[in-house]
Amino acid sequence: MVGRALSRAVRWAEAARAFEQLTGLSPENPAPLLALAQCREALHDQPGALAAYERAVAIAPDSPSVLFALGGSCLRAGKLDEAIACLEAAAATDPGRPEYRVNLALAHLKHGDLLGARRVFGELARRWPDLREVGELRSLLRRVSEPGA
């Protein structure tokens, strides 16, 4: 696939054009939109990336991986309410994916919701105690919980 080859070669603008063409050829498939969004992010076009992720969610609103992708993009863009909503939906739809909860905990933290972050962290720590991100989140939660932090 031309778009993937171009993105591997870090030719993001050309890859984005290839994926834009592919979205027209396969309008009911969210995969080219996700790839287009990743290209847009690599090009530092956050509005374009968000638009492509949102189009993918419109096609596949129950896909946890699509919701996770949009949630992560919203998290990076500082759209924290949207990030939390997407990541909550992704985690509820596919509860076996710890990365969904890691990003959800981070979104709660960035939003200033320490209780929400601790709730999600508790789920992570119970189900995946040996996960590297659990240790990182534990340290982060300790730092933000300390007086004067």
Share of the chain above pLDDT 90, in %: 78
Task: Give the pLDDT mean for 6-35.
Answer: 83
Helix intervals (H) in 9-131: 12-25, 30-42, 46-59, 64-77, 80-93, 98-111, 114-127
* pLDDT per position as a tens digit, 36-93: 999 999 999 999 999 999 999 999 999 999 999 999 999 999 999 999 999 999 999 9
- Supply the pTM of this predicted model: 0.85
Whether 3 has a pLDDT exceeding 70, the answer reads no
pLDDT band at 2 (very low <50, low <70, confident <90, very high): very low
Instruction: Kindly tell me the sign of the dihedral angle through the C-alpha atoms of 44, 50, 51, 55.
Output: positive
CB 59 within 8 A of CB 75: no
- Measured CA to CA in angstroms, residue 109 lies from 18, 52, 78, 118, 138 at distances of 37, 26, 12, 9, 12
pLDDT value, residue 99: 96
Q: What is the mean pLDDT of the chain?
A: 90
Whether 106 has a pLDDT exceeding 50, the answer reads yes
